[in-house]
Structure 1
Amino acid sequence: MTPVIGICGASGSGKTTLLTGVIAALKASGLKVGAIKHHGHAGPVIEPAAAQHKDSARLAAAGAARVALAHAHGVSVDAPGLAKAGPRALAARLMSGLDLVLVEGFKGAGIPKIEVVAPGAQPLLPSGGQLLALARRGGAGSEAGLPVLDADDPGAVAGFILENLELAAPAPEPVGLFIDGQELPVNAFVARMLSGALRGFVSALKGGGQAGKIEVRLG
């Protein structure tokens, strides 16, 4: 079963900002990551009033349990039968084949989670249970028996998630980082991020798609 972890917190606490950074960091480490956002006020994806959705909405109204609309930007799916499903069920039904699914919201769900807390605010959730950590801007140390992560450092939060979920990220390729001729040691997570980011950038360049060894020199 695909591991699921939640990023929750009060409105305006910075959940989405942290989540986007964590997703980017995990992707750079070589993992395939899915995301589910809980929205209490959203309407159907396939909106009956929208001209481009008219025929698809008719199929849903006829009783289809699930309707997929394929378009130039991807595929939109309406699945009313999953409206009350929890994050684990949604991940199992919609996110197969991924290494990890991150969930925004669902603070009451029984999944491991990290709560993002705004500056000066108090956590919403009690410590213990499946609350793994708190994340605050500039955070460090511990609070209420929980580790406090720096919400401004999504790479560190991503590393915490990998460690606590015991995910087997792909082994990093050899990476050497030198500053003024002196080698700067990097751990496996940083090595994966550096190699993933560089290879992603180089692959977009003409002639860079089949790059083997890459050397970058600055200064």
Structure 2
Amino acid sequence: MIPVVGICGASNSGKTTLVEKLLPELNRRGLKVGVLKHHGHGGPVATPAEWQGKDSDRLIKAGARRVALSHSGGVWLEAPGLAGAGPRAVAARLMAGMDLAIAEGFKTAAIPKIEVVAPGQKPLLPTGGKLLALARRGGAGTEEGLPVLDADDPTALADFLLAAVKPVTPPPEPAKLFLDGQELPMNAFVATILSGMLRGFVASLKGSGEADKIEVRLG
């Protein structure tokens, strides 16, 4: 089962902005992340002109469970059978191969979630699932008995999220560099980049297999 974590909050609270900041950090840690976005306004979702009210509707009415339209900007999927399904069900059906799914919106869904709170606003504290934390710009400390995360600190957000919701495939350990037996301190970003470079290089070599530990010795 693909782990699903929600990023919820009131309209214009900064949900999408937070997810945009979080995704690159999770990718740097070696995770494949899918995003489910809740369309909570009712009615059809805006799609390309080739998609709306034309062949897709005819094919769905004829009995197709799903219809995908490939166009220059990507692929749009219409799946009426999943209408009203919760984020876990949608992720299980459509997010195969992902290590983690982020559900933006879905504030009442029975999933663990972080609520994004706009400056000067009070949290909604949605019920359903487990509210893990609040996220505010410059946030710190606690509020309503919950930890408050800094919405502008994607590294801390990723640390908190991965500690609370375990991905399918744990991200690889960051690299450690030793000079004459002494570890050279590196920040998390540099260590992750070095780890990715070494793992990518070794993976390109014949006979490398899938090693759990890589050692490089110079000198």
* TM-score bin (small chain): 0.7 to 0.9
TM-score normalised by the chain length of structure 2: 0.77
Q: 1:11 to 1:52 in 2, by over 3 A?
A: closer
Gaps of 5+ in 2: 178-183, 205-219
Distance 1:143 1:171 in 2: 33
CA distance in 2, matches of 1:95, 1:106: 17
Tell me the alpha carbon deviations over residues 170-203 of structure 1, each in whole angstroms, 9 at most, x when there is no partner.
Answer: 3235255xxxxxx54434x7632x448x85xxx9
TM-score, normalising length: structure 1: 0.77
Matched, 1:43 2:30: no
Alignment of 1:137 onto 2:149: no
Matched residues in 2 for 1:51 and 1:13: separation? 33
- Asked if the contact 1:44/1:78 (under 8 Å) is kept, the reply is no
**Is residue 39–residue 45 contact of structure 2 (8 Å, CA) maintained in 1?**
no
Instruction: Check 1:2–1:128 CA distance in 2 against 1; reply closer, same or farther (3 A cut).
Output: closer
Q: Counterpart of 1:213? A: none
CA–CA distance in 1 between the matches of 2:79 and 2:131? 29
Q: Would the aligned equivalents of 1:29 and 1:169 in 2 still touch at CA under 8 Å?
A: no
Are 1:91 and 2:91 an aligned pair? yes
- Cα-to-partner distance string for 1:49-100 (whole Å, 9 max, x where unaligned): x346633332123232211112333321101121100000000011011100
Match of 1:171 in 2: 172
Q: How many residues align?
A: 197
Q: Which letter does structure 1 place at the counterpart of 2:110?
A: G
Q: Which runs of 5+ in 1 are unaligned?
A: 177-182, 204-209, 211-219
- Answering whether residue 62 of structure 2 is matched by residue 62 of structure 1, we say yes
Match of 1:156 in 2: 156
Q: Which residue of 1 aligns with 2:212?
A: none
| Structure 2 Cα separation of the partners of residues 153 and 10 of structure 1 | 20
The answer to whether the 8 Å contact 1:114/1:131 transfers is: yes
What amino acid does structure 2 have at the position aligned with 1:24?
Answer: P
- Cα deviation, residue 144, structure 1: 1.7
- Alignment pair present for 1:31 and 2:25: no
Equivalent position amino acid for 1:94 in 2: L
Decide whether aligned partners of structure 1 residues 38 and 195 sit closer, same or farther in structure 2, where only a CA change above 3 A counts. farther
- C-alpha distance in 1 between matches for 2:129 and 2:104: 18
TM superposition shift of 1:162: 0.7
| One-letter identity of the residue aligned with 1:16 | T
Map of 2:5 onto structure 1: 5
Aligned equivalents of 1:103, 1:91: Cα separation in 2 = 9
Structure 1 residue runs of 4+, over 4 Å off?
44-47, 126-129
> Map of 1:71-110 to 2, 5 A cutoff?
71-110=71-110
Matches of 2:190 and 2:117, distance apart in 1: 26
Letter in 1 for 2:21: G
Change (3 A) 1:57 1:171: same
SS in 2 for 1:22: helix
Query: Pairwise mapping of residues 198-217 of structure 1 onto structure 2 (< 5 A)?
Result: none
RMSD over aligned Cα, in angstroms? 3.2
Give deviations 1:10-30, integer Å, cap 9, x for gaps. Answer: 111111000111111101110
